[in-house]
Amino acid sequence: MQSIAHILAEELGKKEEYVENVINLLDEGNTVPFIARYRKEMHGAMDDQAIRTLADRLAYLRNLEARRGEVKTSIENQGKLTEELARAIDEAKTLAEVEDLYRPYKQKRRTRATIAREKGLEPLALLLYAQEADCPLPEEAAKEYVDAEKGVESVEAALAGAHDIVAELISDDAEVRKRVRTLTLERGDLNSVSAKKEPEDSVYRNYYAFSSPVSKVQGHQVLAINRGEREEILKAEVAINREVALACVNGVVVKSPACASTQFVKEAAEDAYDRLIAPSIEREVRALLTEQASEGAIGQFALNLRPLLMQRPVKGFVTMGLDPGYRMGCKVAVVDGTGKVLDTTVVYPTHGEAGKAGSIRALSALIKKHKVRHIAIGNGTASRETEQMTVELISSLGRGSGVSYMIVNEAGASVYSASPLAAKEFPEFDVNLRSAVSIARRMQDPLAELVKIDPKSIGVGQYQHDMPEKRLSEALDGVVEDCVNAVGVDLNTASAPLLSRVSGLNAGTAANIVKYREENGAFSSRKEIMKVPKLGAKAFEQCAGFLRVPESAQVLDNTSVHPESYAAAEKLLALCDYTKEDVKAGRLDYLMSRLNKYGEERAAEACGVGLPTLFDIAEALKKPGRDPRDELPAPVLRTDVLEIKDLKRGMELKGTVRNVIDFGAFVDIGVHQDGLVHVSQISDRFIRHASEVLSVGDVVTVWVKDVDEAKKRISLTMKKPKSMD
C-alpha cells in the first residue's frame, strides 16, 4: 500500500521529500504561515494555499486510513475477514468505497431479509442466488423450507422470503453499488419542478422545469435547488434510465442465463434496484453534489474574502463614517488617521428637505472642525439617500475642499457593534455609533477592522448560511490568518483580535500581550514579548517574524526577517557593503545588483541559509515596515453620484468588484444597485468562472449593457462594445 506522503506527492505534483517535510512540520505544531514563509527550503517554496490544501488532504487520508482499520477489525471480530476482502479494503481510494465493502457486515436494523433469515430461509436464498448448473427450479427447491411452525406457510412464502434475502445481498454488493453510482454520476440527470400546481413568481423561477446532467450541473444550481426544496417551493430528483441501470445490476449478479434460478435472481435484482439501490444511490449522489457545491462555494467565499481583506488601506487621513438609516437617522463618527474616535453625532438626511439641509450643515461643521478628508458610507439601508446627501455636502464645501467619499461594504458591522468586543472598546457609545466607527475604520484599514468580525458575516459569497459551518469556518479562518501574516502586525498598536490571528498566537496570548502593553508601555523589541505570560519559546518562534516593532533599536524588528535569521541578514549586509543604518534610511537600492555580483549561491552559503530565504531577507531589508497592500490599485473615491435613471446603454464607467459568484460578478458603479457582469461578458476569451479574471476589490472598466429600472437590475459588460444596438 502506498504511503500517504507518496499519494499526496502524486496528487499535488510535489516532490515526496517536500511533502514528507510539510507533514512533519505540521505534526510538530508549526502553523501554515510559518511553514510557508520561513521553511521554504524544506518544501520547495509552496505557498500557504498549497500547504493548506495538503493539510486538508492529509486529514482526509488519515481519516480514511483509520476507517479502513476500524472496518477490518469489525469484520475480523465477526470471523469473516478474508485476505481478499482485507486487500480490497486496503486498496479502497475513498470512504464511500470502504463503506460499500463494509455494508454486508454492518449491524442492520430489522429488515424483511432479517425476518426471512429468522425463518431459516437463508440457505434457500444462497442456493438460488448461486445459480449453479444443477440448481433445481425455485418452486422445487422451496418445498423443503415450508414450515408452518417457523411461519413459512407455503412455497410462495418461502420464495418471497428468499427473494427478500437475495434482494438485500444484491443491494449490499460493493461492485453493484459502485457501478450504479458511477452510471448515475455519468449519465443521470438532476431534475426539479415546482412543488405547487400554480407556481408564483419567485427567485426559484428558473428551477420550475429544470434538468441538467449530473456530470454538468453547476454548484450554484445544486444549492438553489436544495434551498428551494427546504422551503417547499421545489421538488427534485436524480433520474437515470431504469432499463440501463437494471442491465448494469444484472451484469454483476446474473451468473448463468440458462440456470433454472436466473429469472428468480433477475426479479430479485429488479426489486433490489427499485426498493433499495436506487433510493440509496440517489441520496448518495445528492449528498455528493451538495458536498461538491458546498466546497466550491466555500472555495469561492475564501477566494473573495482574501482580496477584500487585502484591499489597499486609505491610511493617515481623518475619516468620517456614515451608517445610514431611515427612522433612527444616519449615525456619524469621525476618526483620526490612526482610527481614534474624535467626534460622533446623528443626522437625519431622509427626514425631508429640512432634515437633509440640517444634516449637511452639521456634517459640514464637523468636516471643517476636524479637517475630514474622506467619507466612508455604509452600503445598507438608506445608503442611496445618504450618498446623494453626501454629494450635495461635498459640492457645498467647494472644489478646493479635497473631500471625497467611498461606499464601504458594511456587512457584519452590526454583528461587530453588538459584540462584547465592541462594548469593551466603546462602552460609552450605543450600538449604532459603534457601527459608524467600524465603517470609517474599514476605509482606513480593512484588514485590521474586518478581523474583529466572524468571516461568515462579511457576506462575499453565495449560500454561506447553507454551508457546513465547521468547514466554512476553517476555510475562512485560514484566509484571515494568511492575510494578517502576509501583511504583518504592529506589536504596539494592534488590537487583541488582530494579534490573535498572528501565527502562533491565540485569543489568550493576544489578550496577554495587550494587557502587558497597557501595564508596561510600548514594546521596545520583538524579544520583549517573551516576558508576556503564557507566551513560550514555540509561540515566539511561530509569531516573531510576523510582528513589527517600528520603535525598536534593532531595525530588523521592523521587517519580515525572522529573529533566527538576524545573523544571516547582518552577514548579507556586510557582504554587500551595507549597514543597518542604510536599512533604516532606505538606502539599499543596489542591494540586488551587489548580491548578484558577489554570487547568490556563494552568498547563501556564507550566510548559512538557502537561496529562497536569502532572497526573502534581501526583499525585507529593502523595505522595512513594508505593507504589501500599498502596491495594490487605489480604491475608487467619488465626489458625485449616478442614479439608475442616468444610465444609458453603452455608457462607460469605472467600478469596483464587490462580489464574485459562479455566474459572474457584481460591480459597484456608483449607483445604489450593483450591476451584474455575466461570466459571458467578462472576457473575449472563454472562461469557466469569473474568478479566472476578477477578484473582489478589483477596479474595472465596464459598459452598460441593459437597465431595468422597474426591477432595479443593471446588466454590464467588460467587453468594449463596437455598438450597443
pLDDT tens digits, 332-354: 999 999 999 999 999 999 999 99
pLDDT of residue 658: 86
Which architecture, in CATH terms, is 319-480?
2-Layer Sandwich (3.30)
Supply the DSSP symbol for 152. Answer: B
CA distances from 455 to 321, 422, 449, 543, 572 (A): 21, 16, 11, 22, 40
Residues 635/313, Cβ–Cβ less than 8 Å? no
Residue with grid cell 531595525, as numbered in its chain: 555
Q: In this predicted model, what pLDDT tens digit does every residue of 95-119 receive, in sequence order?
A: 999 999 999 998 888 899 999 999 9
Q: Which stretches of 253-401 are assigned E, i.e. beta strand?
A: 319-323, 330-335, 341-347, 374-378
Contact criterion met (CB below 8 Å) for 595 and 572: yes
Which CA distances in Å does 16 have to 46, 50, 91, 450, 569? 13, 14, 20, 38, 31
Instruction: Reply yes or no on whether the pLDDT at 723 is more than 70.
Output: no
pLDDT surpassing 90 at residue 631: no
Of all residues in the chain, what percent carry a pLDDT higher than 90? Answer: 74
Per-residue pLDDT of 124-157, as tens digits, reads 999 999 999 889 999 999 999 999 999 999 999 9
Q: How far is CA 249 from the centre of its chain?
A: 39
Residue 394 near residue 405 (C-beta atoms within 8 A)? yes
With bands split at pLDDT 50, 70 and 90, how would you rate the model's confidence at 16? very high
pLDDT for residue 671: 81
Q: pLDDT at position 699, please?
A: 86
Measured CA to CA, the distance from residue 603 to residue 522 in angstroms comes to 36
Instruction: Give pLDDT, residue 725.
Output: 47
Q: Note the pLDDT of residue 253.
A: 95
pLDDT of residue 209: 94
| pLDDT reported for residue 381 | 86
Distance CA 408, CA 414 (A): 14
Torsion angle, CA of 502/504/506/510, rounded to 10 degrees?
A: -60
pLDDT for the residue 200: 85
Q: What is the pLDDT of residues 175-230, one digit of tens each?
A: 999 999 999 999 999 999 999 888 888 889 999 999 999 999 999 999 999 999 99
Predicted local distance difference test score (pLDDT) of residue 457: 81
Q: Is the confidence at residue 62, as pLDDT, over 60?
A: yes
Q: What gap in Å lies between CA 296 and CA 463, rounded to an integer?
A: 11
DSSP state of 108: P
Q: What pLDDT score was predicted for residue 412? A: 80
CATH class of 4-105: mainly alpha
* Residue 372, pLDDT above cutoff 50: yes
- CATH H superfamily, domain 644-717: Nucleic acid-binding proteins (2.40.50.140)
- In the predicted model, what is the mean pLDDT of residues 46-67? 95
- In angstroms, the CA 415 to CA 435 distance is 9
Q: Where would I find the beta strands (DSSP E) of 286-349?
A: 319-323, 330-335, 341-347
Q: Average pLDDT, whole number, for the chain?
A: 92
Q: Where do runs of H (alpha helix) occur along 398-547?
A: 413-417, 420-425, 431-444, 446-450, 469-487, 496-500, 507-520, 537-543
Domain ranges of the chain: 4-105, 121-301, 319-480, 551-624, 644-717
Q: For 705, list phi and psi in degrees, rounded to 5.
A: -100, -50
Q: What would the mean pLDDT of 430-443 be, rounded to a whole number? A: 92
For residue 724, is pLDDT > 70? no
Task: Give the pLDDT mean for 245-269.
Answer: 93
The pLDDT tens digits for 296-312 are 989 888 888 888 899 89
Please state, in angstroms and rounded to a whole number, the distance separating the CA atoms of residues 328 and 432: 9
Instruction: Report residue 556 as a C-alpha cell.
Output: 530588523
CA 704 to chain CA mean position, Å: 31
Q: What average pLDDT does this structure show over 241-252? A: 96
pLDDT band per the 50, 70, 90 thresholds, residue 603? very high
Cα 668 from Cα 675, distance rounded (Å)? 7
Residue 686 has pLDDT above 50, yes or no: yes
Distance between CA atoms of residues 501 and 479, nearest Å:
10
Output the pLDDT for position 633: 79
Distance CA 445, CA 155 (A): 81
Q: Does domain 121-301 fall into CATH 1.10.3500.10?
A: yes
| DSSP string computed for 570-624 | HHHHHHTT--HHHHHHT--TTHHHHHHHH-HHHHHHHHTS-HHHHHHHHHHHHST
The confidence score (pLDDT) of residue 245 equals 97
Task: Among 67-81, 435-449, 453-467, 520-534, name the one with the lowest average pLDDT.
Answer: 453-467
Q: Which residue has the higher pLDDT, 459 or 698?
A: 698
Strand-pair category, 699-708 with 547-548 = unpaired
- At 137, which helix (H) or strand (E)? none
Quick one: pLDDT at residue 289?
A: 96
pLDDT tens digits, one per residue of 279-298: 999 999 999 999 999 999 89
Q: Is 198 exposed, middle or buried (0-12, 13-18, 19+ CB in 10 A)?
A: exposed
pLDDT tens, residue by residue, 384-407: 899 989 999 999 998 788 999 998
The phi and psi torsions of 549 (rounded to 5 degrees) equal: -130, 85
